[in-house]
Amino acid sequence: MARQHLHGPIMAPPVLYDLIARWFIMRGREQTFRSMVLDLAEPRPGEAILDVGCGTGTLAIAAKRRIGEAGRAVGVDPSAHLLAGARRKAARRSLPIEFQLAGIEALALADHSFDAAFGTFMTHHVPHDLLPRGLAEVGRVLKPGGRVVLVDFTRPDHPVEPGSVSGPTTGVQDLPPLLKAAGFAQIESGQMPFRLRGLSRDHPSYGYVRAVRTS
């Protein structure tokens, strides 16, 4: 399991985690935000999708609805208690989604088995020494031509204080060269047209990076 810096809402019980995400951070518009992420990843009916750092499974559930019965949805997360909440949510909706306890750097998944992967506000939790390996793992499990979308905070200009909720100082602006080194191309980035309420001054803004696995 990854040595992620697990802190803040991640350590909350699943129900509280969802309440914080839905009503405080996303101002009651969580489904709008999730739809924006999926529009970037473009999951299609019958495809296999992977949600890395899936938390309580909200995005994986939304993706499963897009890919339909013939599609495969998998969510991985290093938090056992958040995964328990994800499994309960998917079961209540009668949606067959696979949830696995894992960190991004060690995915127990077959090579070239997914059409698209995504992760939201996950990479800033991963230590610098593990992130290149983690992105290489995402590339390994994607099919040639598979898409990845990562959404995260911009790295602040000022030094991050020890114990800050932002954890390591990797920001979304640091991801393009790491993705290129991991074998991705057609890399593009931008801002998300959605207003979040931040939990820290170390989260000044956020955006996305989208890329394609070359081979």
Residue 53 sits in a domain whose CATH number is: 3.40.50.150
pLDDT at 184: 98
If you write DSSP's letter for every residue of 22-72 in order, what string do you get? Answer: IIIISTT-HHHHHHHHHHHH---TT-EEEEET-TTSHHHHHHHHHH-TTSE
pLDDT at 27: 64
pLDDT at 3: 41
Residue 171 lies in a domain: yes
pLDDT at 32: 84
Question: pLDDT tens digits, the chain, 215 residues: what are they?
Answer: 344 444 445 556 676 766 666 655 666 667 888 899 999 999 999 999 999 999 999 999 999 999 999 999 999 999 999 999 999 999 999 999 999 999 999 999 999 999 999 999 899 889 888 999 999 999 999 999 999 999 998 887 655 554 444 444 688 999 999 999 999 999 999 988 767 666 555 556 789 999 999 98
Residue 3 lies in a domain: no
Residue 57 lies in a domain: yes
Residue 79 lies in a domain: yes
Q: Domain of 68?
A: 8-213
pLDDT at 59: 95
Residue 106 lies in a domain: yes
Residue 2 lies in a domain: no
**Using an 8 Å Cβ cutoff, are 113 and 157 in contact?**
no
Residue 122 lies in a domain: yes
The count of structural domains within the chain is 1
pLDDT at 128: 84
- Torsion angle defined by CA atoms of residues 94, 137, 34 and 68, in that order, rounded to the nearest 10 degrees: -40
pLDDT at 197: 61
pLDDT at 206: 85
- The pTM score is 0.83
d(CA 205, CA 197): 10
Residue 201 lies in a domain: yes
